[in-house]
Amino acid sequence: MDFGFGPDDEVFRGEARDWLSSHVDGVVDRRTWERALGADGWIGLGWQASEFGNRTATLTQQVVWAEEYARSGAPPRSGHIGENLLAPTLIAHGTEEQKARFLPPIAAGHELWCQGYSEPGAGSDLAGIRTAAVREGRSYRVTGQKIWTSLAHEADWCFVLARSEAGSVRHHGLTFLLVPMDQPGRIEVRPIRQLTGTSDFNEVFFDGAHAEHVVGAEGDGWRVAMSLLGFERGVSTLAQQIGFAEELGAVVRAAVESGAARDPVVRERLVRQWAELRTMRWHALRTLGGTAGPGAPSVAKLLWAGWHQRLGELAVLVRGAAAGVGPADWSASAPYELDAAQHLFLFSRADTIYGGSDQIQRTIIAERVLGLPREPKGAV
């Protein structure tokens, strides 16, 4: 697909750039920022339906917005799970009543969402989940535990994949539920402190939580959940790569300033990181253009996760021994400050695990794209 930007795209770029430059400096907190985006229609550009309070934009304009957003230094999005995962799923599988109820608050930045998929015993093996949903009339009682739930401490709602058919196994008997998070005594969120000292992920415990909204039919949750995962890696990967380019630039500058760039091995690694980042960009554009073929999302995940992790390793290599020194006032009971290289190194350790581990991505490519024999499974 030809991804050249035309005159209309450049007009759109100017509008996006002007809006961001006039609003970013006034950011108070992330929830207020979501509402500012929503007030001017910048949420839901890819929905291709404007009746929910959002703008519509062509694919190239969505790319423009993602690029300008990343370049502007705007804060990380709190609403991306609702905007980019749940909303397309509701548009594809939800009822008209569900679309009318949930899409406008997402577009306005008023309701934030988290994703209830992974469990302690079924992280990358989504079909092995055990969280139960028991029907009570027209609603359900949800009991179980989810883990690695991003932004659950901020979310108003959680979409939950739960086992609604007692005795069912694997991808059978699952239902896709929309669960309100404000249920004291029935939902508990426990932040997970990471190596970086921050807590972006959470454990979520459901103890008879009430849920009355089902997306798709009861027992059809696997199909809906897989459809949602298909929306997970799209235009946002290009914005991610702009952030990667900025991180790479910082590592290059540090290598030059410290003298590490005089080492031919370090220079070779820096050049390789640059070349691989360009490769990722072209792969992302082919994916958006529909010419990358099946398995493209898994290939993309393998590419960027390993790349980012290697960049973190290179960042501390360039820093030398100083990269191993922490702040003097660190204590085990409080978060601690890290410099950019240390944060990049520690956070990127998770890149090859979350969002589908490298092993899972390779299995998907091997079995579903290359047609290789499936790995033998243990008895269920």
Active site residue 367: no
| 71 Cβ neighbours under 8 A, 6+ residues apart | 242
- Distance, in Å, from the CA atom of 133 to the CA atom of 185, rounded to the nearest integer, reads 17
> Alpha-carbon distance 148 to 64, whole Å?
31
Report the distance separating Cα 119 and Cα 256, nearest Å.
44
Concatenated DSSP letters for 304-335?
Answer: HHHHHHHHHHHHHHHHGGGGG---TT--TTS-
Q: How far is CA 12 from CA 18, 57, 237, in A?
A: 10, 9, 20
| Contacts for 282 with CB less than 8 Å, ≥ 6 apart | none
Catalytic residue among 232, 276, 313, 367: 232
Q: Which helix (H) or strand (E) holds 122?
A: none
Rounded distance, CA 34 to CA 111, Å?
9
Q: How far is CA 242 from the centre of its chain?
A: 16
Which is it for strands 174-180 and 132-136: parallel, antiparallel or unpaired? unpaired
Alpha-carbon distance 163 to 177, whole Å? 10
Q: Dihedrals φ, ψ of 134, to 5°?
A: -105, 125
What's the one-letter identity of residue 14? G
- Measured at the CA of 91, the angle between CA 85 and CA 96, to 5 degrees, comes to 135
Report the catalytic residues: 232
